[in-house]
Structure 1
Amino acid sequence: MVRYAEPGAVEWVESGGGPLIAVPETVLPFWTGADGEDADSDYDRACEVDGHVGLLPVGDATALILGDEPASTTYLPEHGTFVRWCAADSEDEVLAGVPAALDTAEWQPEVAWNVPGPVLLFDAAWPGDASERAGRVRVALDPGRYAVRAAEARPGPETWLGLVRLRRIDGA
């Protein structure tokens, strides 16, 4: 697997070239990745998501697909945002650019995502049960309904980020 981000201040998830997925822990065993027995695997379904984000049913829940760029991705809970490292010279540059990126981003329309609790972010090609070997990040979300919106932003001349922001919308 290609590694674009060096270990540092946060944990980054890498992709072998396809989309990343945030799967609720409660349905992790139901995600078969590229190992599905059907003609169209779960990974194939994830690859069909057009654009920056999409939702796919997994078991009795829904997973969030981070499509478009196979960029190194982390979750910053203080911003409620998945940050995708598209271009920057360092992790410090990426993290320093997040506030400006959030302020200047041109957001795409929201989608609503019902979350039963914590999710695991990993390369969608991996089966859920094997995702720990691929490298994953646990995102401690409270159960509820979230508005999800995506954007690309360039907070500096050499810095380009993908953003996927989550906002709780069920009154909490």
Structure 2
Amino acid sequence: MARYADPGVLEWVESGGGPLIAVPETVLPFWAGADSEELDTDYDRACEVDGHIGLLPVGDSAALVFGDEPAATSYLPDTATFVRWSAANSETELLAGVSFALDTAVWGSEVHWRVPGPVLLFDSAWPGQAAGRSEHLRVPLEPGTYSVRSAYVQPGPETWLGLVQLRRLGH
């Protein structure tokens, strides 16, 4: 797989071309990815998500789908934000634009995502049970309901990034 995000400060997750997905660890066995006997696989359902983010039922929970483009993605715990690397000459350049991007973002509509705890971010084509053996990122979310919003921002002349921010509700 081609690497667009050089190793740096953060761990970046990339896909083989389809959407990335964040699945609660408790329901990983219920995500079949592209490996399914069904006509419409879980991966197909993830590909049908319209826009930057969407939710798909998985077991008794839901997965967060990162739609639009298969950008390398990481998580910044201090701002509870997934950062999607669309264009930048380096990780340093990309991360330097995050504060400005958060301050100036025009956020899209929000979805409410109820999670039972930590989630794994990985390529939606992989089955959940194989996610730990593939490129993935564990995000230690607290159980609860999160408001999730997204934006696409150009913080510099050659820097474009996507933001998917989580805000925990009612705590």
TM-score w.r.t. length of structure 1: 0.98
- Runs of 4+ with >6 A deviation: none
1:33 is paired with a residue of what secondary structure? coil
Matched, 1:126 2:126: yes
The superposition leaves residues 127-159 of structure 1 with CA deviations (integer Å, 9 ceiling, x where unpaired) of 011112320000010000000000000111110
Q: Structure 2, unaligned stretches of length 5 or more?
A: none
Cα deviation, 1:116-135, whole Å, max 9, x if unaligned, reads 10000000000011112320
Alignment match, 1:9: 9
How many angstroms apart in 1 are the aligned matches of 2:81 and 2:49?
20
Q: Which amino acid aligns with 1:99?
A: S
Tell me what 1:141 maps to.
Answer: 141
Distance in 2, Cα, partners of 1:119 & 1:133 = 15
CA contact (8 A) 1:26 1:116 kept: yes
Residue 63 of structure 2 corresponds to: 63
After superposition, residues 10-49 of structure 1 pair within 5 angstroms as 10-49=10-49
The separation in 2 between residues aligned to 1:2 and 1:27, in whole angstroms, is 29
Letter in 2 for 1:92: T
Distance in 1, matches of 2:5 and 2:27, equals 28
Counterpart position of 2:163: 163
Equivalent residue letter for 1:15: S
CA contact (8 A) 1:24 1:118 kept: yes
User: Counterparts of 1:147 and 1:123 in 2: how far apart (Å)?
Assistant: 23
RMSD across aligned positions (CA): 0.7
Whole-angstrom CA distance in 2 between matches of 1:125 and 1:2: 16
Q: Report the alpha carbon displacement of residue 7 of structure 1 after superposing the two structures with TM.
A: 1.1
Paired residues, number = 171
For residue 76 of structure 1, what is the aligned residue in structure 2?
Answer: 76
How far 1:3 moved relative to its partner?
1.2
Kept in 2: contact 1:2–1:14 (CA 8 A): no
SS at match of 1:28: helix
Give the structure 2 partner of residue 52 of structure 1.
Answer: 52
Residue 150 of structure 1 is matched in structure 2 by 150
CA contact (8 A) 1:28 1:129 kept: yes
Q: Percent identity?
A: 71
